[in-house]
Amino acid sequence: MSMDSQRLSSAEAKALDHGFMGHPKPLRSLFFTEMWERFSYYSIRPLLVLFMVATVSSGGFGFDEATASAIYGIFAGSLYLAAVPGGWLADNWLGQERALWWGSIIIALGHLCIALSAIFGMALFFSGLVCIVLGSGLFKTCISVMVGALYPKGDVRRDSGFTLFYMGINIGALLAALIVGVFKEKGMWHIGFGVGGLGMLLSLLVYRFAAQKNLNKYARAKNITADWEVASGRYKNVGLWVAGFGVLLLTLMVLIATGIVPFNAAMVAQYMTYIIAAVVLGYFAIMFISPRLDKTDKLRLLVCFVLIVGSVLFWSSFEQQPTSFNLFADRYTDLDVLGFSIPSIWFQSLNPLFILLLAPIVSIVWVKLANRGLEPNSMVKFALGMLLAAAGFALMILASKIVVAQPGTLASPLWLVGSLLLLTLGELALSPVGLSSMTKLAPDGMQGQMMGLFFASIAMGNLVAAFFGGHVSADQIEGLPGLFTTMTIFLIITAVILLALAKPISKMLKDSEQADQQFH
């Protein structure tokens, strides 16, 4: 190799390593790949229930609200649950890169099915939902693992990189709500669904023509092994098992569609909670007794387990936004501001908006603290996120008590704005750090599986939130102060437990890693 090419390689490596806001250049194309995939998801999410309950004459299915909500719950829960087997297949069969590619194609096919169901009927609509679940199971873990692979061990930019990556999710969510809302108002359901398909197509193109190229270039320039291209190959005949599962799933869908097998959506949604809990607990139990993992790996798994439990508890409170918060905004908040009447649904856009404004600041704060050796560990960040969310709920206790004390009084919109700001800060302290921690702590060859379990914890949190929210009658403000108080206490207790565990678990992990290094 000539001196010029060495210099060029060194310069190229430096440019690639700091090419996107001080982060590795491939982060930019992965950011846009994820942004458009999330756009596709958030464009169909608000339409699904409304479409299913709309009358047949206005283009919908005419389902009752309970059935439509249960079907949506099954879809959303399955989406995150599918990340567990999806992560396993990426680690052990396809490799991250091929899993992401095929996942993208299956999601795009799902959107196409939903858009075309206007012509071909209900069966194609539900086939589309199944495709989106299966494709997302492959896609979701892989892209997060790829982001984690950009940062070597000890790189202080990792958490701030995931925070920037998290911004892409929220840009996608914000754009989707603004664009698809127009079609919803006009009753153009299938054009709205089609817009989601276009978003997924853009995600595919960005990955194929930008992300893939940048990742491989980065690996060459940094002289690192492109882990996202390879699978462990530890298990044989995985393809046959996948094909068998595909045949079984197709058979089940045909039996349900023809009415041979009855399908009670509400009952299925209820049992999904138990299934997700059993999957997560069972997986960790098997891994903890596995002889394949050494003591350090098992300690790493223990930290992952604690963080995943923390994630379930956080999301079970955070997901009160679409239920109790939305109810408070619609019925008990003064929506007249400076002579203008604010639509109550606008409050739902505050969360992604705050994330876009605050994510870069939070990202910079983590880097500054890390440079001074003051950055807290993952468990402390989780506890901080929960305390911030608890403060948000504390504001809502005060707001709801004002309305209860003076019937007919409407609370200031600033109560909701302040509460949602604190909840968003809590989310920024917890969610991107959770993604980062799963890639950082997972034992070798298990990154996809850990990421899948983290996403399963979000599904579990959503289902637990439904249990909490279900105890409040839509017509009774009296129940809200109690609900918000329960959430506040719940979050504070969990945060205290995490803080108590943070130091001893971190010390155990550090001691074990040092012992391993001496042994080797």
Q: Give me the domains of the chain, ranges plus CATH numbers.
A: 23-214+221-232 (1.20.1250.20), 264-520 (1.20.1250.20)
Full 3-state SS string of 395-435? HHHHHHHHHHHCCCCCECHHHHHHHHHHHHHHHHHHHHHHH
Phi-psi region of 223 (alpha: psi -120 to 50; beta: other; left: phi over 0): left
- Per-residue confidence (pLDDT) for residue 185, from 0 to 100: 60
Report angle CA 231, 235, 240 to the nearest 5 degrees.
100
pLDDT above 90 covers what percent of the chain? 22
Mean of pLDDT values over 120-130: 90
* Structure token pair of residue 136: 């997302």
SS3 of 340, please? strand
pLDDT above 70 covers what percent of the chain? 89
DSSP summary character for residue 23: B
- Per-residue confidence (pLDDT) for residue 111, from 0 to 100: 92
8, pLDDT greater than 50: no
pLDDT (tens digit per residue) in 58-77: 778 888 766 777 787 788 77
Give the containing element (helix H, strand E) for 227. none
- Per-residue confidence (pLDDT) for residue 417, from 0 to 100: 94
Contact present, 136 and 82 (Cβ < 8 Å): yes
Contact present, 317 and 430 (Cβ < 8 Å): no
- Per-residue confidence (pLDDT) for residue 3, from 0 to 100: 37
Give the containing element (helix H, strand E) for 337. strand 336-337
| pTM for this model (two decimals) | 0.74
Contact present, 459 and 336 (Cβ < 8 Å): no
Closest Cα partner for 106 from 27, 200, 35?
200
pLDDT (tens digit per residue) in 173-219: 888 877 776 776 677 778 888 888 899 999 999 999 998 888 888 88
Contact present, 429 and 381 (Cβ < 8 Å): yes
SS3 of 65, please? helix
Mean of pLDDT values over 438-464: 79
1, pLDDT greater than 50: no
- Per-residue confidence (pLDDT) for residue 503, from 0 to 100: 83
Neighbours of 64 (CB within 10 A): 10
Q: Are strands 340-341 and 336-337 parallel, antiparallel or unpaired?
A: antiparallel
Instruction: Calculate helix-pair angle for 26-53, 158-185, nearest 10 degrees.
Output: 30
- Per-residue confidence (pLDDT) for residue 126, from 0 to 100: 93
Closest Cα partner for 164 from 9, 63, 19, 318?
19
Q: How far apart are CA 39 and CA 168, in angstroms?
A: 9
pLDDT (tens digit per residue) in 254-293: 998 888 888 887 788 778 878 888 888 898 898 888 888 8
What end-to-end distance do the CA atoms of the chain give, in Å?
Answer: 34
Q: How far apart are CA 335 and CA 400, in angstroms?
A: 15
DSSP summary character for residue 322: I
Mean of pLDDT values over 447-451: 79
**Any idea which of 226-230, 252-256, 446-450 has the lowest mean pLDDT?**
226-230
Mean pLDDT, the chain, integer:
82
- Per-residue confidence (pLDDT) for residue 226, from 0 to 100: 63
**Any idea which of 19-33, 175-189, 260-274, 484-498 has the lowest mean pLDDT?**
175-189
- Per-residue confidence (pLDDT) for residue 45, from 0 to 100: 78
Q: What residues contact 211, with CB distance under 8 A and at least 6 apart? A: 26, 29, 30, 32, 33, 146
- Per-residue confidence (pLDDT) for residue 7, from 0 to 100: 41
